[in-house]
Structure 1
Amino acid sequence: MKEEKMTPRLASTARALWLIYLSLTAACAFAYWLFGMEPFDAIAHSLSTVSTGGFSTHDDSLSWFHSSQIEGVAILFMLLASLNFGVHYYAIYRRKPLHYWEDIEARSFLILVLVIVVVVGLMLRLEGSYHTLPPSLRDASFEVVSVITSTGFATVDFSHWPDFLPVLLIFVSFIGGCGGSTAGGMKVLRVVLLFKQGMREIRKLIHPNAILPVYLGRHVVDQRIMNAVWGFFAAYTLVFVVLMLLMIHAGLDQVSAFSAVATCMNNLGPGLGKVASNFQEVSSLGKGIAIIAMLLGRLEIFTILILLTPAFWKD
């Protein structure tokens, strides 16, 4: 598990994290400029990439540039921005580059991205959308990284991809990036702990008297942490269902309502159906629901829900 503190003083930690963030942004802007962007485009897109915001100076997003090098830069810095900035600190300040692989959340995130890219790339090739494998892997790499990091850049419209691929990418957005990053979603570490807890329960059914703690690396996860993760997952699911029902009431079909709430709560951007490109066709009520969903997703639900609890306002 990650160390409790990066530096003894909070101010020093904040300064180190800001320097890392600014350095990533500057390096991203330089790389964009090096591979053909105008200085304004390079700066604007670097700010949007490292913040995993996804805004572009062009309606066609990064597909406007028709450059595999620019797409490669975007993939690299979207991934870096979606790793825990504490991991960046230990890798850079403590000169421990292997910490990127030693950290279980970062390792799980990178492996997950690789697996999904391969699956999507192969499906695109087998379904006949691409005649050769390299172009399918190129588009799969960019779209998968853009979606899982909640950035939302686009080079193709994945909502028109065949088979289950559009829905798979929406589900991928629920995972998001690592904790302590700029990415949205539920965060990789929570998903890892949920998976480990699920596997423990299966083993408990086989060996009901066994003591089977959940491990994260070499450390046993405290049961209070597991309870907090399950509590977050339950709250996330409940809020999602309620917002989706409200979106349907606001006039969207089931697919559009599902993806609209998913893309808002996960701070992604693109969706499916009527919200594949934008929310222009969504009613005023639907847009209001989307605003609430975005706030709940960005502040990770509990921050908003606690404000609605009467006990919070008592002296």
Structure 2
Amino acid sequence: MRSAHTASPAGAAKRRFAAVQRIVGLLLMGFSTTMLPPVAVDLFYGENTWPAYLIAAALTLLAGLIIWWPVRNYRGELKVREGFLIVVLFWVVLSAFGAIPLYLTHSAWHSLTDALFESISGLTATGATTVAAGLDLMPHATLYYRSQLHWFGGMGIVVLAVAVLPMLGVGGMQLYRAETPGPMKDTKLTPRITSSARALWTIYVLLTLSCALAYRLLGMSSFDAICHAMSTVSTGGFSTHDASIGYFHSLGIEIAAMLFMLAGASNFALHFLAWEQRSLRLYLRNAEFRAFLLLYLVLGVIVCGLLYAAGTYGSLGESVRKGLFQVIAYGTDAGFATADPSHWPHFLPLLLVLATFMGSCAGSTGGGVKVIRLVLFGKQASREIARLIHPSAELPIKLENKIVPDAVVYAIGGFFSVYIAITLLLSFAMVFTGLDPVTAFSAVAGAINNGGPGLNSVVANVASVSEIGKWILIVAMLMGRLEVFTLLVIFTPSFWRR
């Protein structure tokens, strides 16, 4: 017979939070090791910033140990609700500790808010920065650390933990579902969830190495190639230079960047299946990937055509080069730049901002609402029109000859409604901080879609944004990285009921 204490709601809550506490402590201790590579980078270049990273690593390790130690012997099943809470807590706590070396190493971050903003922007693979200028003169360790934040955050460090830390001793599926982007969260590549997460990370590492090699062969230094590869495949956008990719003035580097940005914004499950079956045909058989390519083809034709027609650039070749790069950089939410589109003609600046909402696939490192949701939303709209004509007809929605459950379709409609409502609400809040409506909307779009650059004064950085405005964008970045509902669900009363 169970004791009254064990059966009580307080006892259940205590057990629930013990599981959360134990895992967050373990993950935080694991994260402390990511602050050691910058130490090696600093020692190699002899710039004397390594003490800050050792201090940050020690503080992070100590905090994780303090959190974990009281519940180190706890063993219990992890429920779905605990998985959501762990993911949200970990992103918030990890970002806070990730800001420590930034605050200690360089004067570019004049406040804890700026350092926290940079850390969250890095880990969410957003790429917005509070640094107005001076990247070219920063210590190499700092530049490397910023790109490394992108790289771990791009695929999701919680998914990494599920892949390499089976010692957690709890249901990894709950963490995986809470962290994985897109509507198809229950899709597994292999029978074991740990193997699935490990497979995703294997593809991620191989793509990053391939990207770094391509950049090196095309003329980047080894350091620039590594940093930009991590930022490219993660669709993050942090660069080692103020001029971003435009610093290199290389068509070859720009082409490589576009290809790997598209690879990062594609579904990594599709990459895995294509690799496993040694077939590129799988890409073209995939409905989301076909829509993904069509989207960029249409956007590219519109943008490049209007740039050439308006005479913005001197030739068709230059119009295509500048236009297509910005289309892919904004659309994939990578945030690199070779031009400032704020003053492009007609509606092109707004079109690029809208592209940040829809240019990435589910299961990718990109942000936004995901292409698969747009495809299903379009099919639902077509079905509703057909129902007006044939009210009694059975009209199931199919994707690749498989019927999509109505629950998924309706959930996508709800997601769009909430996503748009939050974007507008945050945009109004940014207007109250002093930004004009276009700049405010583009800043929020860049944050909630984890895209980075906006328009006008926030096209390159958010240094001019007020303190309150930066906190609004911090909330937007976290919401975007966790796809809104993962964050909102923990604020509902029913979440905390037994």
Q: What range is the shorter-chain TM-score in?
A: over 0.9
CA distance in 2 between counterparts of 1:261 and 1:268 reads 10
Q: After TM superposition, give the deviation of residue 210 of structure 1 in Å.
A: 2.2
Q: Contact 1:2–1:103 (CA<8 Å) still a contact in 2?
A: no
In structure 1, what is the equivalent of residue 41 of structure 2? none
In structure 1, what is the equivalent of residue 408 of structure 2? 225
In structure 2, what is the equivalent of residue 257 of structure 1? 440
Q: Does 1:182 align with 2:365?
A: yes
Residues 290-301 of structure 1 correspond to what in structure 2 (within 5 A)? Answer: 290-301=473-484
In structure 2, what is the equivalent of residue 246 of structure 1? 429
Residues 143-182 of structure 1 correspond to what in structure 2 (within 5 A)? Answer: 143-182=326-365
CA distance in 2 between counterparts of 1:5 and 1:261 reads 32
Number of positions where the alignment pairs a residue of Structure 1 with one of Structure 2? 315
Q: Contact 1:54–1:152 (CA<8 Å) still a contact in 2?
A: yes
Q: After TM superposition, give the deviation of residue 131 of structure 1 in Å.
A: 3.2
In structure 1, what is the equivalent of residue 239 of structure 2? 56
Q: Does 1:104 align with 2:308?
A: no
In structure 2, what is the equivalent of residue 237 of structure 1? 420
In structure 1, what is the equivalent of residue 219 of structure 2? 36
CA distance in 1 between counterparts of 2:423 and 2:185 reads 30
Secondary structure (helix, strand or coil) at the match of 2:277 reads coil
Q: Contact 1:32–1:73 (CA<8 Å) still a contact in 2?
A: yes
Q: After TM superposition, give the deviation of residue 244 of structure 1 in Å.
A: 1.2
**Which amino acid is the alignment partner of residue 455 of structure 2?**
L
In structure 2, what is the equivalent of residue 23 of structure 1? 206
Identity, in percent, stands at: 51
Q: After TM superposition, give the deviation of residue 132 of structure 1 in Å.
A: 2.3
**Which amino acid is the alignment partner of residue 395 of structure 2?**
L
Task: Give the TM-score normalised by structure 1.
Answer: 0.97
In structure 2, what is the equivalent of residue 72 of structure 1? 255
The structure whose Rg is larger is 2
Higher alpha-carbon deviation: 276-285 or 161-170: 276-285
Secondary structure (helix, strand or coil) at the match of 1:172 reads helix
TM-align CA RMSD = 1.5
CA distance in 2 between counterparts of 1:173 and 1:61 reads 18
Q: After TM superposition, give the deviation of residue 134 of structure 1 in Å.
A: 1.6
Higher alpha-carbon deviation: 91-100 or 162-171: 91-100
| Higher-helix-fraction structure | 2
Cα-to-partner distance string for 1:199-246 (whole Å, 9 max, x where unaligned): 211222222222222121211211000111011111111211211111
Q: Does 1:203 align with 2:396?
A: no
Cα-to-partner distance string for 1:36-92 (whole Å, 9 max, x where unaligned): 000000000000000111010000000000000000110010011111110001100
Q: Contact 2:269–2:363 (CA<8 Å) still a contact in 1?
A: yes
Unaligned runs of 5+ in 1: none
CA distance in 1 between counterparts of 2:446 and 2:323 reads 19
**Which amino acid is the alignment partner of residue 82 of structure 1?**
A
In structure 1, what is the equivalent of residue 267 of structure 2? 84
In structure 2, what is the equivalent of residue 118 of structure 1? 301
Unaligned runs of 5+ in 2: 1-183
Q: Contact 1:176–1:266 (CA<8 Å) still a contact in 2?
A: no
Q: Contact 2:398–2:404 (CA<8 Å) still a contact in 1?
A: yes
In structure 2, what is the equivalent of residue 283 of structure 1? 466
